[in-house]
Amino acid sequence: MAWQEKPLGFFTDTSICIGCKACEVACKEWNQLKGDPATFTADSYDNTGQLDAQNWRHVQFIEQIPDNKGTIATPTPIAGGQAWLMMSDVCKHCKEASCLEVCPTNAIVRTEFDTVFIQPDVCNGCRNCISACPYGVIGFNEQAGVAQKCTLCYDRLQGGLQPACAKACPTESIKFGYIDDLHAVADDRLAALQKAGYQKAQLYGRDTKVYGGLNAFFLLMDKPEVYKLPNEANATLPSRNNLPGYVGGVATAVLGLIAGLVAFRSGRMSGTDHTTTGRS
Amino acid sequence: MVSLAATFGRGAMTNHWRDIKHADVILINGANPAEAHPVGFQWFVKAKLDPTKGPGAGGGAKIIHADPRYTRTSAMSDMYLRIRTGTDVAYFGGLINYVLQNTLYHEDYVKNYTNASFIVKEGFDFKDGLFSGYNPATRSYDLSTWAYELTAPPAQAGGQVEGPATTQTGFAKRDMTLQDPRSVFQLLKKHYSRYTPDMVASITGIPADQFLQVAKIVGEMGRPDKVMTIVYAVGLTHHTTGGQLIRSGAVLQLLLGNIGRPGGGMNAERGHANIQGNTDHAISWEILPGYLRIPAPGQKNLDDYVRQSAPVKSDPNSWNFFGLNYRNFMVSLLKGWYGAAATKDNEYAFNFIPKPATNSSWMSIYDQALKGKMEGLILNGMTATSIGPDVNQVLQALSNLKWLVIMDPLPTTSSEFWHGPDMDPSKIQTEVFMLPTTHWIEKDGSFVNSGRWMQWKEQVIPPEGQAQHDHWIFADLFDRVKSLYKQQGGKFPDAINAMTTDWYKDPKKPELDEIAKEINGKDLATGKQMSSFANLKADGTTTAGDWIYTGSYTEDGNLSKRRNGIQDPAKNDPTGMGFYPMWAWSWPLNRRVMYNRASADSDGKPWDPKRPGIQWNGTTWTGDVPDYPATMNPKDPASWNPFIMNGEGVGRLFSSAMLDGPIPEHYEPVEAPIANPLHPSQSEDPVVFLYDQAAGRPNRFGKVDKYPYVATSYRLTEHEHYVTQHVPLLVGLQPQAFVEIPEELANEKGIKNGDRVRVFSERGKIEVAALVTKRLGPMTLAGNKTVYHIGIPIHWGFIGVSAEQNPERSKYWLANALTPFVGDVGARTPEFKAFLVNIEKI
Amino acid sequence: MNPAEHFAAPPEWQWWILAYFFFGGLSGGSYAIGTLLRLAGDPRDRRASQIAYIASFIALIPCPIFLTLDLGQPTLFYHMLVDTSGGGLVFKPWSPMSLGSWALLAFGLFSFVSFLGALAETGRIRGASSLASAIRGLPATIWGVIGTALGLFICGYTGVVLAVSNQAVWSDAGWVLGGLFLASALSGSAALLLFLARSRRDVDLDTAYRLERADRYFVVLEAVLIVLFLVAVAVAGSLTKVLGIWVLLWIVVLAGIVVPFLASRVRGWPPVAAPLLALLGVLALRALVIFSAQT
Ligand SMILES: Nc1nc2c(c(=O)[nH]1)N[C@H]1C(S)=C(S)[C@@H](COP(=O)(O)OP(=O)(O)OC[C@H]3O[C@@H](n4cnc5c(=O)[nH]c(N)nc54)[C@H](O)[C@@H]3O)O[C@H]1N2
Ligand SMILES: Nc1nc2c(c(=O)[nH]1)N[C@H]1C(S)=C(S)[C@@H](COP(=O)(O)OP(=O)(O)OC[C@H]3O[C@@H](n4cnc5c(=O)[nH]c(N)nc54)[C@H](O)[C@@H]3O)O[C@H]1N2
Ligand code: SF4
Ligand code: SF4
Ligand code: SF4
Ligand code: SF4
Ligand code: SF4
Ligand SMILES: [Mo]
């Protein structure tokens, strides 16, 4: 089966993520990533740390145990994906992608599936995309000398397969498919959770408010910041600073030029002894 | 497994993984499926996401997790109860009490499908923590005081009416009104009346109000249109009270009428991919394949054996299928093993089977080695050193051996045990042989999952290096032993020489498919494969390597290879209940839910038409493969009871097949932080097996003054026991040994997250990193005592990627250095899950 | 306004980038000053102007080398200009790095020609006098003005490269960084030329005096922008990122700023000390901005 050339992506439902990291491992196996050197971080069950060139999937563990009594769901539910949040993070394949915007070599392209792909043979390792990605997704692979991140398994998609991580996910927390279909699934799930009283449950990147919509969007059980995701107010493109940056520069340049001209021109004043020892 | 057999008749998960999606409530106790069974956990999630499931108006199944630690499973649950380790009998007991006091049980079911109405003999008693019949000298019970009161002699004569512990001469007396004070029902009611919410709280640490919230939901599950499943694993088994812990859940499920029903059951999540297959094929010393008992000393012939082993028919409506067929199964097994050498005249070679005089369970092996009574040991795919208990003692045991053979694809802490902590290699004489075997991924064969599905797998990669298949090594070994017997004779050569290898083209290199075929068995007259164990005979004309697998490899071939699944649900799942009868094969006879007769009422109508197991359509039973005669009319007053494997034909609320009590009672772990609030004078299980004491070694148990913290050991998703220490990607996910400690305790002890700590017990120590977390926390017991748990993941030792990179740091990484060398009386399972420790910052 | 929250990963732009920002700034700034000296029209400044052009080009030479060495794939530096995936050239005006690459190329041409012109003027290279005469007059002025525009672009776009990101500090001070780098490049270049002027004898003292004055103006401009920078960063809630250990660099920056004002008052300093300190301040400012955001 081949995939149609329509936006494809992920809906990651964090409320049913069991933090098994199968996605992390499947991604590494398929993409032949070794992982960073093993270190014990003492940060809950997360020893991966971050998304980078060796980790294109990263499962976050956020402990939010409210008190220390043996505690039960009601009235403030601590179970049900709320007290220990797990979230499998990945490149968001932003519709308006910061990385793609700044890349000077056109190494970063949008594929026929509307995913964001770094062409490894085009990238020259300038790392501008890293400074741009608001999600800290991209890493620099020292050996290869290029920037790397989730390819949304472009190779597998071209072969009609689904991404390795989604395939490995036992609970279908990572759902892969056409974005339009996933939107409907996500809306239903959100409605069910809200009905069950999970007031903080929310979709992230399902609408256009963050980066024009994310092709890897999420259902979160708390505010985006808790998951290290910029909220709507903070989700801004790097290019927002182009115009102000240049205007500031030009204004400074004009002031500088005037200052220079003034400084140099007014040198004609007489009577100063500075001129007396001149050669001319 | 022991306790399920003692309750329902077979020792296995009653339902299967996929079936969990049918539940309204999922009670998880002593299991952490999101971490230990992540793939199976998808079915929990499906139940949760299904709006038609759940208590009350539905809206999704409710998952209730009781665990000392808040785990990845808790995070997925609707309710989490912080329970003290080893106290689930009190929790289930409290629920049983709630259900009984509030008349929430499933009345029809309890009356007809359980032994509630059975009358227990005069003389049965329970006082101060002891059941009647206790002998303190032998630390054991005389089970005869736990028998039923009998009525008229049996209707028909025959071998199957005699029984093991009770030489019985009639059927059990019943009171269908359940009012008789000696009826099982009234005994139960009385027994559990002590398990009030406050008592539950003071034993388990679960606050009474939280307990009552759960009780309310659970109580609703006695309605015929609701169903609950209980899921457990080694969080219940790894206790000296393991059998009772599991039975208490089973009793609750029987009272709620949830056994035999889709979405219900008492579901044991098994361990290794093929541990169910192992158990079925007699990995434990006390059984033969198919749970036939190992012959006992004194049994001179098959008659003796069957009389003392087979269940006894104790109700006129009991089919007693197992009891009736015991001899057929045994003879077919013997015929399969000894072929032509098994004849009517030599009792089908019955005497070739050893009759062990002493307990030969797993810990007993080390015990014998410690006593110097064992010369050599073959460890086949098993890491003795790491798995404990009490590693230091196990290491001592291995040092006492003359030789040790390791059959394993990889180095293990046993194959290099002399590198273990505090070992002095110069003092160890044991000669160690390493026989590299293929890993399961390098061979074909079958895995039998928890749900009893025998699923064939292919070889994924070719064997590496000099590795040999385990079964070829054993075949070769067998061949050599046989030739030695032939050349040199020996004390009892027949048992070896007579064994048949007719099944294999090359007896030194048997194919696994040939073995599967052998296990199924054949009709010797026709040469055809047997299609059902119902046709096995005791006259030597049939064979069965393991009767419960008869039907798996018929004339149609190896059915475990079938793959008709979700690619076409309409065709492959005709009932829509997810049975997928043409996917692989499940024992017994491809039944997916065991005891499924109990899913329908006395007339054969499903208790819940939305979740039918089997139903009577007037002429046959339809749906799943019936665990019942396919055409037996339920309206016939002579029709059989639903639990066909039990002598009673019903589920046992009261079971005399348990060695430590017919009704589950809460006992403290051998090392406990408090005295048993129910009966302080008899705090722990009176019959628990104390190996050291029995062997004349001093008991090494810690007391709470020196070791104030409760420890429990467990798995993490990221590792598979000890073997994944060789897998770099997984080592990266959890790179080193650590313990989880509650924040309050850490503060008290001045331990910061990530610090190195020493945790020590009366037996040994570990030196690992501390992960400080609020997921563990204090609990209040016995009114006012605050107790902390320390969590100890089991996965590390001195072998593996990170250990070898850092030999100094990894020196004391073996969790089992801490655990006590004791065993539960029935299964002799060690108490891995509850022991006392102390902790200090290094 | 809510403080901005950043979750971006650091691009690990380190020493090569710092070196480029420093030399690029000096090159662009020197070029601008060289042109300004000519536009101001005092013939006594010609020598200083020549030195400025020469310094501009010399400072520019290592820049592409630094930039290339910073790449993960140095041999693919040309991918900044040639689109190997789509064909043709890559020109993404909204990507400061892309724009900067082209600007650097163009400025290189202008700087080189002006450099040759300056050399020719001095008569040091034989046969160059014809070139010198060719670029005299109006064409030379136009050339210098365009070159100055490019040079100033080089000074400032580096700040915009940082700003056009999602990094804390950089993107928080998005509208200031370009100007800040430009102003500090000018002050640094003025200091450099002052240093050169003072360390040789062929520059008119009056030129040097006016250079000194220009330097002071530039420093004032820079100081104002530093304040704006701190305000912007503070408003975004990232102030703590540029403090802490970085206070040491701030001291150097501060020294670089006050030194031009103090120097004339303090007797006994070697005349080159003040411009050197100022140059250090310029370096420190860039180091501070580059490194603080990435830790
Ligand atoms: N990732 C992974 N999966 C595995 C394995 C593995 O090594 N790694 N091993 C496999 C094997 S062999 C087995 S046997 C299974 C075991 O599967 P599980 O039994 O689920 O595994 P454990 O982690 O040993 O224990 C389960 C939970 O029991 C809790 N617990 C301890 N004592 C008690 C108690 O008294 N009461 C209650 N309610 N809870 C208690 C522990 O805190 C723990 O969370 O896992 C299998 N699956
Ligand atoms: N404290 C504490 N101790 C425990 C437990 C606990 O919860 N707490 N859990 C207990 C439980 S439930 C279990 S099951 C045990 C687990 O203990 P083990 O079963 O000993 O542990 P594994 O690491 O799974 O060891 C299996 C070995 O089999 C090898 N192997 C794999 N495939 C093959 C094959 O095809 N052939 C052969 N010959 N070898 C093979 C592997 O390389 C590995 O060395 O640990 C027990 N010990
Ligand atoms: S998440 Fe980052 S790397 Fe992925 S598309 Fe968006 S900006 Fe690019
Ligand atoms: S590192 Fe590669 S992908 Fe990223 S911006 Fe530079 S050239 Fe583009
Ligand atoms: S889509 Fe492919 S590359 Fe991206 S995280 Fe999943 S497995 Fe890795
Ligand atoms: S595989 Fe699925 S359930 Fe497991 S960590 Fe990844 S997203 Fe979560
Ligand atoms: S390790 Fe294998 S058996 Fe265990 S959950 Fe994963 S897939 Fe299933
Ligand atoms: Mo196990």
Tell how far the Cα of A57 is from the centroid of ligand 5, in angstroms. 7
Are A84 and B75 within 8 A, CB to CB?
yes
Do A39 and A61 share a structural domain?
yes
B73 has a chain A CB within 8 A of its CB: yes
Round to whole Å and give the CA distance between B693 and B719. 35
- The mean per-residue pLDDT over the stretch B509-524 comes to 97
Give the containing element (helix H, strand E) for B88. helix B88-101
Q: Are B69 and B713 in contact (CB under 8 A)?
A: no
Query: Which ligand lies nearest to the CA atom of residue A215 in the structure?
Result: 3
Considering only alpha carbons, which residue of chain A is nearest residue B752?
A42
CATH number at residue A31: 3.30.70.20
Round to whole Å and give the CA distance between A170 and C228. 52
**Total domains, chain A:** 2
Q: Are B253 and B281 in contact (CB under 8 A)?
A: no
Model confidence pLDDT, tens digit, residues B395-411: 999 999 999 999 999 99
Do A105 and A85 share a structural domain?
yes
Q: Which domain holds residue A268?
A: 243-279
Model confidence pLDDT, tens digit, residues A166-185: 999 999 999 999 999 999 99
DSSP-derived 3-state class of residue A247 = helix
Are C86 and A106 within 8 A, CB to CB?
yes
Write down the pLDDT at residue A69.
55
Half-sphere exposure of B760 (CA within 13 A, CB side): 9
Q: What is the 8-class DSSP label of residue B367?
A: H
Residue nearest to atom 4 of ligand 3 (CA): A91
The residue with tokens 């999606």 is: B21
- Going by pLDDT thresholds of 50, 70 and 90, the confidence category of residue A76 is very low
Q: Are strands B376-380 and B403-407 parallel, antiparallel or unpaired?
A: parallel
Give me the residues of A, 114-153, that contact C with CB < 8 A.
119, 121-128, 130-142, 144-147
Tell how far the Cα of B459 is from the centroid of ligand 2, in angstroms. 21
Do A248 and A235 share a structural domain?
no
Which residues, in sequence order, are CB contacts of B199 under 8 Å at separation 6+? B90, B94, B677, B678
The residue ranges of every structural domain in chain B are: 2-277, 680-841
Q: Are B186 and B180 in contact (CB under 8 A)?
A: yes
Best substitution site from B1, B245, B833 to test ligand 1's pocket, by max atoms within 8 Å of Cβ? B833
Give the CATH H-level superfamily of domain B2-277. Answer: Dimethylsulfoxide Reductase, domain 2 (3.40.228.10)
Check pocket membership of A153 for ligand 5, CB cut-off 6 A.
Answer: yes
Tell how far the Cα of B833 is from the centroid of ligand 3, in angstroms. 45
Closest CA to B326 of B171, B154, B547, B165: B547
Ligand 2 atom index nearest CA of B792: 1
Tell how far the Cα of B355 is from the centroid of ligand 8, in angstroms. 27
Cis peptide bond N-terminal to B181, omega within 30:
no
Residue C85 has its nearest CB partner, among A102, A119, A147, at A119
Are C152 and A261 within 8 A, CB to CB?
no
pTM for the predicted model, two decimal places: 0.94
Rg over alpha carbons for chain A, rounded to the nearest Å, is 25
Check pocket membership of A218 for ligand 3, CB cut-off 6 A.
Answer: no
Whether B166 shows a pLDDT value over 80: the answer reads: no
Which residues, in sequence order, are CB contacts of B808 under 8 Å at separation 6+? none
- Going by pLDDT thresholds of 50, 70 and 90, the confidence category of residue B35 is very high
Round to whole Å and give the CA distance between B712 and B832. 7
Residue A38 has its nearest CB partner, among B731, B738, B742, at B731
Round to whole Å and give the CA distance between B556 and A268. 111
- Going by pLDDT thresholds of 50, 70 and 90, the confidence category of residue B162 is very low
Q: What is the 8-class DSSP label of residue B375?
A: -
- The mean per-residue pLDDT over the stretch C87-102 comes to 94
Kindly state whether residue A251 falls inside one of the protein's structural domains: yes
CATH number at residue C51: 1.20.1630.10
Chain A residues closer than 8 Å to B75 by CB: 18-19, 79, 81, 83-86
Whether A277 shows a pLDDT value over 50: the answer reads: no
Whether B706 shows a pLDDT value over 60: the answer reads: yes
- Estimate the crossing angle of helix C273-293 against helix C247-263, to 10 degrees: 150
State percent of chain A over pLDDT 70.
89
Q: Which domain holds residue C106?
A: 3-292
Do A250 and A147 share a structural domain?
no
**Total domains, chain C:** 1
Are B777 and A69 within 8 A, CB to CB?
yes
Are C92 and A264 within 8 A, CB to CB?
no
Q: Which ipTM value was assigned to this complex? A: 0.94
Residue A104 has its nearest CB partner, among C2, C7, C97, at C97
Q: Are C18 and C280 in contact (CB under 8 A)?
A: no
Model confidence pLDDT, tens digit, residues C96-124: 999 999 999 999 999 999 998 888 888 77
What Cα–Cα distance (Å) separates residue B46 from each residue in A192, B75, B245? 14, 16, 28
Are A21 and B733 within 8 A, CB to CB?
yes
Are A259 and C207 within 8 A, CB to CB?
no
Write down the pLDDT at residue C131.
65
Rg over alpha carbons for chain B, rounded to the nearest Å, is 26
- Give one DSSP letter per residue of B819-834, joined into a string: S--EE-TTT--B--S-
Are C8 and A132 within 8 A, CB to CB?
yes
- Those chains having 3 or more beta-carbon pairs within 8 angstroms of chain B are A
Kindly state whether residue A3 falls inside one of the protein's structural domains: no
- Burial tier of B375 (Cβ tally within 10 Å: 0-12, 13-18, 19+): exposed
Residue B658 identity (one-letter amino acid): M
The residue with tokens 């094929």 is: B281
Query: Which ligand lies nearest to the CA atom of residue A141 in the structure?
Result: 4
Do A92 and A112 share a structural domain?
yes
Do A137 and A30 share a structural domain?
yes
Write down the pLDDT at residue B684.
94
Do A223 and A106 share a structural domain?
yes
Q: In sequence order, which ranges of chain A are alpha helices (DSSP H)? A: 22-31, 98-102, 128-132, 154-158, 164-168, 179-195, 242-265
Model confidence pLDDT, tens digit, residues C176-205: 999 999 999 999 999 999 889 888 878 888
> Which neighbouring-strand residues pair with B522?
B529
- The mean per-residue pLDDT over the stretch B803-816 comes to 94
Mutate to test the interface with A, among B17, B43, B45 (most CBs of A within 10 A): B45
Tell how far the Cα of B40 is from the centroid of ligand 7, in angstroms. 8
Write down the pLDDT at residue C202.
80
B738 has a chain A CB within 8 A of its CB: yes
Do A262 and A145 share a structural domain?
no
> Which neighbouring-strand residues pair with B634?
none
Ligand 4 atom index nearest CA of A102: 5
Tell how far the Cα of B561 is from the centroid of ligand 6, in angstroms. 29
Cα angle: B68, vertex B73, B75; to 5 degrees? 95
Round to whole Å and give the CA distance between B149 and B2. 24
Closest CA to B364 of B801, B762, B822: B822
A233 has a chain C CB within 8 A of its CB: yes
A79 has a chain C CB within 8 A of its CB: no
- The mean per-residue pLDDT over the stretch B498-510 comes to 93
What Cα–Cα distance (Å) separates residue A118 from each residue in A138, A149, A154, B434, B476? 10, 8, 10, 48, 56
Whether B165 shows a pLDDT value over 70: the answer reads: no
Residue B588 identity (one-letter amino acid): P
Whether B155 shows a pLDDT value over 80: the answer reads: no
Give me the residues of B, 700-719, that contact A with CB < 8 A.
716-718
Check pocket membership of A151 for ligand 5, CB cut-off 6 A.
Answer: yes
Give me the residues of C, 236-295, that contact A with CB < 8 A.
none
Whether B268 shows a pLDDT value over 60: the answer reads: yes
Residue nearest to atom 3 of ligand 7 (CA): B273
C152 has a chain A CB within 8 A of its CB: yes
What Cα–Cα distance (Å) separates residue B128 from each residue in B146, B221, B667? 17, 32, 12
Check pocket membership of B715 for ligand 7, CB cut-off 6 A.
Answer: no
Closest chain C C-alpha to A123 CA, distance in angstroms: 8
Ligand 2 atom index nearest CA of B380: 38
- In 3-state terms chain B splits into helix, strand, coil percentages (rounded to 5) of 30, 15, 50
Number of CB pairs, chain A paired with chain B, less than 8 A apart: 159
- The mean per-residue pLDDT over the stretch B338-365 comes to 93
- Burial tier of A256 (Cβ tally within 10 Å: 0-12, 13-18, 19+): buried
Ligand 5 atom index nearest CA of A151: 3
Residue B775 has its nearest CB partner, among A18, A65, A69, at A65
Provide the Cα torsion B170, B176, B179, B182; round to 10°. 20
Q: In sequence order, which ranges of A36-168 are alpha helices (DSSP H)? A: 98-102, 128-132, 154-158, 164-168
Model confidence pLDDT, tens digit, residues B206-228: 999 999 999 999 999 999 999 99
Write down the pLDDT at residue A266.
57
Whether A81 shows a pLDDT value over 60: the answer reads: no
**What phi and psi, each to the nearest 5 degrees, are found at residue B554?**
-95, -165
Which range has the worst mean pLDDT, A13-22, B373-382, C62-71, C125-134?
C125-134
Are C84 and A122 within 8 A, CB to CB?
yes
Write down the pLDDT at residue B399.
96
Considering only alpha carbons, which residue of chain A is nearest residue B58?
A196
Give me the residues of A, 150-189, that contact C with CB < 8 A.
none
Mutate to test the interface with C, among A48, A100, A106, A142 (most CBs of C within 10 A): A106
Which tokens is B376 given?
Answer: 């050599």
Residue nearest to atom 3 of ligand 6 (CA): A17
Check pocket membership of B38 for ligand 7, CB cut-off 6 A.
Answer: yes
The answer as to CATH 2.40.40.20 being correct for domain B680-841 is yes
Write down the pLDDT at residue C134.
66
Q: Are B591 and B14 in contact (CB under 8 A)?
A: no
- Those chains having 3 or more beta-carbon pairs within 8 angstroms of chain C are A
- Going by pLDDT thresholds of 50, 70 and 90, the confidence category of residue A274 is very low
Do A272 and A158 share a structural domain?
no
Write down the pLDDT at residue B163.
38
Kindly state whether residue A1 falls inside one of the protein's structural domains: no
Number of CB pairs, chain A paired with chain C, less than 8 A apart: 265
What Cα–Cα distance (Å) separates residue B833 from each residue in A211, B30, B248, B815? 49, 9, 18, 11
